[in-house]
Amino acid sequence: MGRLAGTWNGFWSAEGPVAGLGLFRILFACCLLAEIPTSRARSVNAIDDGGFHLPYLDWIPAVPAAIYQLLHDLQLPLILLLALGLAARSSAAALLAIQGYLFLADQLNFRNHSYLFLLLLLLLWLSPAADTLSLRGLARARLAGVGWLGENLAVRRPLTFQRLIQLQVCLVYFLAGLHKLHPAYLRGDVLGDFLDYPPAVLAGLAGLSAALQLWLPFGLWMRKTRPLSMLLGIGFHLAVAWTLSIHVFSFAMIASYLLFLEPQTLPALLRRVD
Protein backbone atom coordinates (compact mmCIF):
# COMPACT_ATOMS: atom_id res chain seq x y z
CA MET A 1 0.00 0.00 0.00
CA GLY A 2 2.85 2.33 0.96
CA ARG A 3 4.63 1.48 -2.29
CA LEU A 4 1.51 2.22 -4.29
CA ALA A 5 1.11 5.58 -2.54
CA GLY A 6 4.78 6.29 -3.24
CA THR A 7 4.35 5.53 -6.95
CA TRP A 8 1.22 7.68 -7.08
CA ASN A 9 2.98 10.59 -5.34
CA GLY A 10 6.06 10.21 -7.51
CA PHE A 11 4.03 10.21 -10.71
CA TRP A 12 1.98 13.28 -9.87
CA SER A 13 4.65 15.30 -8.07
CA ALA A 14 7.46 14.84 -10.60
CA GLU A 15 9.04 18.01 -11.94
CA GLY A 16 10.50 18.55 -15.39
CA PRO A 17 10.82 20.94 -18.33
CA VAL A 18 7.39 22.23 -19.36
CA ALA A 19 8.27 23.47 -22.86
CA GLY A 20 5.89 20.87 -24.32
CA LEU A 21 3.08 22.26 -22.19
CA GLY A 22 3.92 25.79 -23.35
CA LEU A 23 3.85 24.79 -26.99
CA PHE A 24 0.61 22.89 -26.44
CA ARG A 25 -0.88 26.05 -24.89
CA ILE A 26 -0.07 27.99 -28.09
CA LEU A 27 -1.45 25.29 -30.42
CA PHE A 28 -4.54 24.80 -28.27
CA ALA A 29 -5.18 28.55 -28.42
CA CYS A 30 -5.12 28.23 -32.23
CA CYS A 31 -7.73 25.46 -31.92
CA LEU A 32 -9.90 27.66 -29.69
CA LEU A 33 -9.69 30.42 -32.26
CA ALA A 34 -10.63 28.09 -35.11
CA GLU A 35 -13.55 26.76 -33.06
CA ILE A 36 -15.23 30.14 -32.52
CA PRO A 37 -17.28 30.19 -35.77
CA THR A 38 -18.55 26.66 -35.04
CA SER A 39 -19.38 27.58 -31.46
CA ARG A 40 -21.22 30.67 -32.67
CA ALA A 41 -23.35 28.50 -34.95
CA ARG A 42 -23.80 25.52 -32.65
CA SER A 43 -24.37 27.05 -29.22
CA VAL A 44 -27.41 29.06 -30.29
CA ASN A 45 -29.63 27.32 -27.75
CA ALA A 46 -28.15 29.71 -25.19
CA ILE A 47 -30.08 32.55 -26.88
CA ASP A 48 -33.27 33.65 -25.18
CA ASP A 49 -35.72 33.64 -28.12
CA GLY A 50 -38.77 32.14 -26.45
CA GLY A 51 -38.01 28.70 -27.91
CA PHE A 52 -37.44 25.37 -26.19
CA HIS A 53 -34.58 25.30 -23.67
CA LEU A 54 -33.06 22.42 -21.77
CA PRO A 55 -30.46 23.87 -19.39
CA TYR A 56 -28.40 21.54 -17.22
CA LEU A 57 -29.58 23.53 -14.20
CA ASP A 58 -32.89 25.38 -14.16
CA TRP A 59 -31.38 28.58 -12.80
CA ILE A 60 -28.98 29.02 -15.75
CA PRO A 61 -30.63 31.71 -17.89
CA ALA A 62 -30.56 32.09 -21.66
CA VAL A 63 -29.19 35.44 -22.88
CA PRO A 64 -30.30 37.98 -25.50
CA ALA A 65 -28.77 37.51 -28.96
CA ALA A 66 -26.56 40.61 -28.60
CA ILE A 67 -24.99 39.25 -25.39
CA TYR A 68 -24.54 35.88 -27.09
CA GLN A 69 -22.54 37.50 -29.88
CA LEU A 70 -20.58 39.54 -27.36
CA LEU A 71 -19.65 36.37 -25.47
CA HIS A 72 -18.11 35.04 -28.67
CA ASP A 73 -16.38 38.30 -29.60
CA LEU A 74 -14.89 38.56 -26.11
CA GLN A 75 -13.11 35.27 -26.60
CA LEU A 76 -10.86 36.62 -29.34
CA PRO A 77 -8.62 38.85 -27.15
CA LEU A 78 -8.67 36.24 -24.37
CA ILE A 79 -7.45 33.54 -26.74
CA LEU A 80 -4.72 35.86 -28.00
CA LEU A 81 -3.56 36.50 -24.43
CA LEU A 82 -3.58 32.77 -23.72
CA ALA A 83 -1.47 32.11 -26.83
CA LEU A 84 1.01 34.83 -25.91
CA GLY A 85 1.18 33.70 -22.31
CA LEU A 86 0.24 37.13 -21.06
CA ALA A 87 -2.21 37.07 -18.15
CA ALA A 88 -2.72 33.56 -19.40
CA ARG A 89 -4.24 32.20 -16.20
CA SER A 90 -6.84 34.96 -16.00
CA SER A 91 -7.57 34.57 -19.71
CA ALA A 92 -7.97 30.81 -19.36
CA ALA A 93 -10.30 31.36 -16.38
CA ALA A 94 -12.39 33.90 -18.32
CA LEU A 95 -12.55 31.59 -21.36
CA LEU A 96 -13.55 28.74 -19.08
CA ALA A 97 -16.35 30.86 -17.63
CA ILE A 98 -17.66 31.96 -21.06
CA GLN A 99 -17.43 28.57 -22.71
CA GLY A 100 -18.70 26.88 -19.57
CA TYR A 101 -21.76 29.10 -19.64
CA LEU A 102 -22.44 28.42 -23.35
CA PHE A 103 -22.05 24.71 -22.67
CA LEU A 104 -24.22 24.52 -19.57
CA ALA A 105 -26.90 26.91 -20.80
CA ASP A 106 -28.54 24.16 -22.82
CA GLN A 107 -28.11 20.40 -23.16
CA LEU A 108 -28.79 20.78 -26.87
CA ASN A 109 -25.48 22.63 -27.12
CA PHE A 110 -23.59 19.49 -26.13
CA ARG A 111 -20.75 18.54 -28.44
CA ASN A 112 -17.82 16.34 -27.56
CA HIS A 113 -15.45 18.98 -29.00
CA SER A 114 -16.64 21.73 -26.72
CA TYR A 115 -16.70 19.39 -23.70
CA LEU A 116 -13.11 18.31 -24.31
CA PHE A 117 -12.02 21.91 -24.84
CA LEU A 118 -13.62 22.90 -21.53
CA LEU A 119 -11.72 20.18 -19.71
CA LEU A 120 -8.45 21.15 -21.39
CA LEU A 121 -9.05 24.81 -20.54
CA LEU A 122 -9.61 23.88 -16.90
CA LEU A 123 -6.39 21.87 -16.77
CA LEU A 124 -4.39 24.53 -18.64
CA TRP A 125 -5.71 27.18 -16.26
CA LEU A 126 -4.36 25.20 -13.31
CA SER A 127 -1.09 24.31 -15.04
CA PRO A 128 2.16 26.26 -15.31
CA ALA A 129 1.75 26.36 -19.12
CA ALA A 130 2.28 30.13 -19.27
CA ASP A 131 5.60 29.94 -17.42
CA THR A 132 7.37 29.00 -20.64
CA LEU A 133 7.33 30.03 -24.32
CA SER A 134 5.46 33.18 -23.32
CA LEU A 135 5.84 36.95 -23.25
CA ARG A 136 6.34 36.59 -19.51
CA GLY A 137 9.24 34.27 -20.26
CA LEU A 138 10.59 36.83 -22.74
CA ALA A 139 10.48 39.56 -20.10
CA ARG A 140 12.21 37.24 -17.62
CA ALA A 141 14.97 36.51 -20.15
CA ARG A 142 15.41 40.22 -20.93
CA LEU A 143 15.75 41.01 -17.24
CA ALA A 144 18.29 38.26 -16.78
CA GLY A 145 20.10 39.30 -19.97
CA VAL A 146 19.98 35.78 -21.42
CA GLY A 147 18.61 34.27 -24.64
CA TRP A 148 14.82 33.93 -24.75
CA LEU A 149 14.60 30.37 -26.01
CA GLY A 150 17.29 29.06 -23.69
CA GLU A 151 15.68 30.70 -20.69
CA ASN A 152 12.23 29.37 -21.60
CA LEU A 153 13.38 25.84 -22.32
CA ALA A 154 15.12 25.66 -18.96
CA VAL A 155 11.91 26.26 -17.01
CA ARG A 156 11.08 23.28 -14.81
CA ARG A 157 7.74 22.89 -13.04
CA PRO A 158 5.61 20.08 -11.57
CA LEU A 159 4.23 17.94 -14.40
CA THR A 160 0.97 17.21 -12.55
CA PHE A 161 -1.43 18.96 -14.90
CA GLN A 162 0.48 17.98 -18.02
CA ARG A 163 0.03 14.37 -16.97
CA LEU A 164 -3.63 14.96 -16.19
CA ILE A 165 -4.12 16.29 -19.74
CA GLN A 166 -2.34 13.20 -21.06
CA LEU A 167 -4.65 10.96 -19.04
CA GLN A 168 -7.68 12.90 -20.24
CA VAL A 169 -6.67 12.39 -23.86
CA CYS A 170 -6.19 8.67 -23.17
CA LEU A 171 -9.62 8.44 -21.55
CA VAL A 172 -11.20 10.01 -24.64
CA TYR A 173 -9.53 7.42 -26.89
CA PHE A 174 -10.23 4.43 -24.68
CA LEU A 175 -13.87 5.20 -23.99
CA ALA A 176 -14.50 6.08 -27.64
CA GLY A 177 -12.99 2.71 -28.54
CA LEU A 178 -15.08 0.85 -25.94
CA HIS A 179 -18.29 2.34 -27.32
CA LYS A 180 -17.43 0.94 -30.76
CA LEU A 181 -17.17 -2.68 -29.66
CA HIS A 182 -20.47 -3.93 -31.03
CA PRO A 183 -21.32 -5.81 -34.23
CA ALA A 184 -23.13 -2.97 -36.01
CA TYR A 185 -20.15 -0.63 -35.71
CA LEU A 186 -17.57 -3.29 -36.54
CA ARG A 187 -19.59 -4.28 -39.62
CA GLY A 188 -19.18 -0.70 -40.85
CA ASP A 189 -22.85 0.28 -40.53
CA VAL A 190 -22.11 3.54 -38.68
CA LEU A 191 -19.29 4.65 -40.97
CA GLY A 192 -21.54 3.78 -43.91
CA ASP A 193 -23.71 6.75 -42.94
CA PHE A 194 -20.80 9.10 -43.64
CA LEU A 195 -18.60 7.34 -46.17
CA ASP A 196 -19.49 5.96 -49.57
CA TYR A 197 -17.17 2.94 -49.61
CA PRO A 198 -17.80 -0.78 -50.28
CA PRO A 199 -18.97 -2.75 -47.19
CA ALA A 200 -15.70 -4.66 -46.87
CA VAL A 201 -13.72 -1.39 -46.78
CA LEU A 202 -16.13 0.10 -44.23
CA ALA A 203 -15.79 -2.98 -42.02
CA GLY A 204 -12.00 -2.78 -42.27
CA LEU A 205 -11.95 0.91 -41.38
CA ALA A 206 -14.36 0.34 -38.50
CA GLY A 207 -12.23 -2.44 -37.02
CA LEU A 208 -9.06 -0.41 -37.47
CA SER A 209 -10.50 2.71 -35.87
CA ALA A 210 -11.83 0.82 -32.84
CA ALA A 211 -8.57 -1.11 -32.39
CA LEU A 212 -6.49 2.04 -32.72
CA GLN A 213 -8.57 3.97 -30.21
CA LEU A 214 -8.21 1.15 -27.70
CA TRP A 215 -4.47 0.88 -28.35
CA LEU A 216 -3.39 4.53 -28.34
CA PRO A 217 -3.90 5.13 -24.58
CA PHE A 218 -1.28 2.46 -23.90
CA GLY A 219 0.91 2.94 -26.96
CA LEU A 220 1.37 6.66 -26.34
CA TRP A 221 2.51 6.11 -22.74
CA MET A 222 5.10 3.42 -23.44
CA ARG A 223 8.45 4.75 -24.61
CA LYS A 224 9.08 1.85 -27.03
CA THR A 225 5.74 2.06 -28.81
CA ARG A 226 5.35 5.84 -28.65
CA PRO A 227 6.82 6.86 -32.03
CA LEU A 228 4.76 4.32 -33.97
CA SER A 229 1.64 5.13 -31.92
CA MET A 230 2.08 8.83 -32.63
CA LEU A 231 2.41 8.18 -36.35
CA LEU A 232 -0.68 5.97 -36.32
CA GLY A 233 -2.60 8.52 -34.26
CA ILE A 234 -1.65 11.39 -36.55
CA GLY A 235 -2.66 9.31 -39.58
CA PHE A 236 -5.96 8.45 -37.89
CA HIS A 237 -6.77 12.07 -37.09
CA LEU A 238 -5.79 13.29 -40.55
CA ALA A 239 -8.09 10.64 -42.03
CA VAL A 240 -10.91 11.73 -39.70
CA ALA A 241 -10.32 15.37 -40.63
CA TRP A 242 -10.28 14.50 -44.32
CA THR A 243 -13.27 12.16 -44.45
CA LEU A 244 -15.56 13.46 -41.70
CA SER A 245 -14.48 17.13 -41.84
CA ILE A 246 -13.65 17.11 -38.13
CA HIS A 247 -10.70 19.47 -38.30
CA VAL A 248 -10.30 21.37 -35.03
CA PHE A 249 -10.83 18.39 -32.74
CA SER A 250 -8.38 16.34 -34.80
CA PHE A 251 -5.76 19.08 -34.66
CA ALA A 252 -6.18 19.48 -30.89
CA MET A 253 -5.69 15.74 -30.37
CA ILE A 254 -2.56 15.76 -32.55
CA ALA A 255 -1.24 18.79 -30.64
CA SER A 256 -1.70 16.91 -27.37
CA TYR A 257 0.90 14.36 -28.53
CA LEU A 258 3.55 16.97 -27.65
CA LEU A 259 2.76 16.22 -24.01
CA PHE A 260 3.56 12.54 -24.46
CA LEU A 261 7.14 13.26 -25.53
CA GLU A 262 9.70 12.80 -22.76
CA PRO A 263 9.87 16.23 -21.05
CA GLN A 264 13.52 16.65 -22.15
CA THR A 265 12.89 15.79 -25.83
CA LEU A 266 11.26 19.00 -26.99
CA PRO A 267 13.77 21.36 -25.31
CA ALA A 268 16.61 19.34 -26.86
CA LEU A 269 14.99 19.53 -30.31
CA LEU A 270 14.31 23.27 -30.04
CA ARG A 271 17.84 23.96 -28.80
CA ARG A 272 19.18 22.18 -31.86
CA VAL A 273 16.93 24.31 -34.10
CA ASP A 274 18.00 27.44 -32.19
Considering the complex, state which of residue 100 and residue 158 has its C-beta at the smaller distance from another protein.
158
Residues that bind another protein (CB under 8 A): 8-9, 12-13, 42, 44-45, 47, 49, 51-54, 107-108, 110, 112, 115, 119, 126, 128, 157-158, 160, 164, 167-168, 171-172, 175-176, 178-180, 182-185, 189-191, 193-194, 244
Exposed e or buried b per residue across 215-251, where buried means at least 16 C-beta atoms within 10 angstroms of its C-beta: bbbebbeeeeebeebbebbeebbeebbeeeeebbbbb
Least distance CB 202 / another protein (angstroms): 12
Considering the complex, state which of residue 24 and residue 249 has its C-beta at the smaller distance from another protein.
249
Query: Cα–Cα distance between 1 and 34 in angstroms, integer?
Result: 46
Considering the complex, state which of residue 91 and residue 213 has its C-beta at the smaller distance from another protein.
213
Considering the complex, state which of residue 12 and residue 227 has its C-beta at the smaller distance from another protein.
12
Query: Cα–Cα distance between 140 and 120 in angstroms, integer?
Result: 26
What does the DSSP assignment read for 71-122?
HHHTHHHHHHHHHHTSSHHHHHHHHHHHHHHHHHT-GGG--HHHHHHHHHHH
Query: Cα–Cα distance between 33 and 143 in angstroms, integer?
Result: 31
Least distance CB 118 / another protein (angstroms): 11
Least distance CB 176 / another protein (angstroms): 5
Least distance CB 265 / another protein (angstroms): 22
Least distance CB 211 / another protein (angstroms): 14
Residue 72 and residue 82 in contact, taking contact as beta carbons nearer than 8 Å: no
